[in-house]
Amino acid sequence: MPHSNNRLFARLGVADTDRFKSHLTVTQLHQGEVLADAHQGLNKVYFPHGGIISCVVELKNGEGIETGMIGADGAFGAMQALDDKVSLNRVIVQVSGAASIIEVERLREVLGAVPELRALLVKYEQFFLAQVQQTAACNAVHDIHARMCRWLLRMHDLVGVDLPLTQEFLAQMMGVRRTSVTEVAGELQRAGLVTYSRGHVHIEAVARIRERACECHETLQLHYERLFQRPV
């Protein structure tokens, strides 16, 4: 599986990626796998080829609310290599997928030799911070219907039309009551925008979901484009 399935490596190019590919291994990440716990040091950096990694803030009552998703568009754990940080949140695999993985220590050495990769990782960290900030504003102001549509669009961008998710999981990640999610989900299904089958949400009409979503998805897409259009 080529490392360029990850968009950061695709941007870096084959010649530069080849300089450190002996340190990269490709592994399958499985739904539910915990990649990091809050305040835990990290020893691996993940560059997903597909699937979704979720950053989740855990509250004392046991609830966990998602603040950001990482997929083939980025990397998880790179700040550890850049600045020796610990994970601030619990980080779990939400949708299974392959990833290129490198040890933090190795990546630190690579970043000295390949500054272009360092620049890409810093840009992605900026994008991830923008995502978390947008999510805070979105959760505070936008209604559940628009938020759920926004959430489906982000997942659609990362993994396509077939999302292996239950409504219960969705409610948990969005930090809303299960009954509210069931209500909105029923409405979307009746309008023909999504269908549900055991543990899966299938997106039927992405353009119409886009019409109903709040502005946050588009705002973040623009941030991503602006950040990465600039030369490395």
Query: Considering only 3-11, 58-66, 172-180, 211-219, which stretch makes contact with Zn ion by CB under 5 A?
Result: 211-219
Q: Which is nearer to Zn ion, 79 or 153 (CB)?
A: 153
Smallest CA-to-CA distance from 47 within 105, 114, 104 is with 104
What is the distance between the alpha carbons of residues 216 and 228, in angstroms, rounded to a whole number?
18
How many other C-beta atoms are found inside a 10 Å radius of the C-beta of residue 100?
25
Q: Which is nearer to Zn ion, 118 or 147 (CB)?
A: 147
**Contacts (CB under 5 A) with Zn ion, residues 104-143:** 138, 142
Asked whether the beta carbons of 78 and 107 are under 8 A apart, the reply is yes
Query: Considering only 13-21, 53-61, 84-92, 208-216, which stretch makes contact with Zn ion by CB under 5 A?
Result: 208-216
Buried b (16+ CB within 10 A) or exposed e, 45-63: bbbbbbbbbbbbbeeeeee
**Residue 210 interacting with Zn ion (CB under 5 A):** no
Asked whether the beta carbons of 178 and 168 are under 8 A apart, the reply is yes
Tell the smallest beta-carbon distance from residue 161 to Zn ion (Å). 22
Q: Which is nearer to Zn ion, 76 or 151 (CB)?
A: 151
What is the distance between the alpha carbons of residues 46 and 80, in angstroms, rounded to a whole number?
11
Query: Considering only 7-15, 87-95, 203-211, 214-222, which stretch makes contact with Zn ion by CB under 5 A?
Result: 214-222
Tell the smallest beta-carbon distance from residue 75 to Zn ion (Å). 25
Tell the smallest beta-carbon distance from residue 95 to Zn ion (Å). 21
Q: Which is nearer to Zn ion, 159 or 214 (CB)?
A: 214
Inter-CA distances, 129 with 37, 38, 97, Å = 19, 17, 23
**Number of Cα atoms under 13 Å in the Cβ half of residue 152:** 32
Tell the smallest beta-carbon distance from residue 27 to Zn ion (Å). 33
Inter-CA distances, 146 with 112, 137, 183, 212, 218, Å = 43, 13, 13, 6, 12
Q: Which is nearer to Zn ion, 1 or 129 (CB)?
A: 129
Q: Which is nearer to Zn ion, 206 or 232 (CB)?
A: 206
**Residue 156 interacting with Zn ion (CB under 5 A):** no
Tell the smallest beta-carbon distance from residue 52 to Zn ion (Å). 18
**Residue 216 interacting with Zn ion (CB under 5 A):** yes
Residue type, 231: P
The residues binding Zn ion (CB under 5 A) are 138, 142, 214, 216
